[in-house]
Amino acid sequence: MRWKSGRRSSNVEDRRGRKAAAGGGIGLLVVAVVVMALGGDPRALLQALGGAGAAGGATAGPPPAAQAEAADFTRAVLGSTEDVWGEIFRASGSTYREPRLILFSGRTAAGACGMGTAAMGPFYCPPAQEVYLDLTFFDDLAGMGGAGDFAAAYVIGHEIGHHVQNLMGTSDEVRRLQSGRSQADVNALSVRLELQADCYAGVWAYHANRTSRMLEPGDVDEGLAAAAAIGDDRLLKRAGRDVVPEAFTHGTSAQRQQWLRRGLETGDPQRCDSFG
């Protein structure tokens, strides 16, 4: 993946080396980790318990030197998403509000979304319009079969996809539709939201490649492998749990690959309507 010549985003806050204050966060941490282990989405829990996280943090040392390139890569990918989505929104007569991306180590206060932890993986906080990322997730992803720079870029692009959904009102509409529904229906709507974010990640990569020849041979395969690695069915199997489709919240490996590929091949956000 050709990323080193790309523009670096200024919308990155680096909290690595800061230790989140302990007040009130441990219980939420344990519960959220359990939710994730069961294949659930911790974001709704974090939003519901937004006040549980402690604000601020104490200095715990400098960021790991080994992560310097990964942090630089993240800034470059975020800058590319800003350029692509900014142009897409302008073409439709709208204005793209750029999100902030928070780099952290271990755990950090996530404002209205409670306490963010590395165990949850990357996540987007809609009220703050912020993406949270512990860079060790890229190592975890590689260990699950999602190695490579474009695999990591896909993950960032997916979270930015959630930001696009937030700006377009899709996230609010889905939460409205989920109200009063059975858990199976709530999960099914969550899957559609996640698959659309996968498609939006592909849309970003399509346009970034068109304007800057970002993709190299093998990159698309890396992204598709990463999408497969974090499918609900594969994650449940890895955890030794029964694969129950009604419990899926993000989609199967095949579904995630399908929607990422759709965005990559069309570059058209309109083709990402997973709710039709």
DSSP assignment of 87-120 = HHHHHTT--PPPPEEEE-SSEEE-GGG-EEEGGG
What is the mean pLDDT of the segment spanning 98-121? 95
| Contact present, 44 and 125 (Cβ < 8 Å) | no
Residue 95: inside a domain, yes or no? Answer: yes
Does residue 157 belong to any structural domain of this protein? yes
Answer yes or no: is 7 within a domain: no
Residue 1 lies in a domain: no
Amino acid 38: pLDDT: 42
Taking alpha carbons only, the member of 204, 258, 206 closest to residue 231 is 258
Give the tens place of pLDDT for each residue, 82-106: 999 999 999 999 999 999 999 999 9
Q: How confident is the model at residue 61 (pLDDT cuts 50, 70, 90)?
A: low
Inter-residue contact 80 to 74 (CB < 8 Å): no
Q: Is residue 28 part of a domain?
A: yes
Structurally, the chain folds into a number of domains equal to: 1
Which pTM does this prediction carry?
Answer: 0.85
Domain span holding position 166: 12-272
* 150 inside domain: yes
Out of 53-57, 121-125, 179-183, 203-207, least confident range:
53-57
In a domain, 5, yes or no: no
C-alpha span between 239 and 39 (Å, rounded): 9
Lowest mean pLDDT among 36-40, 127-131, 256-260: 36-40
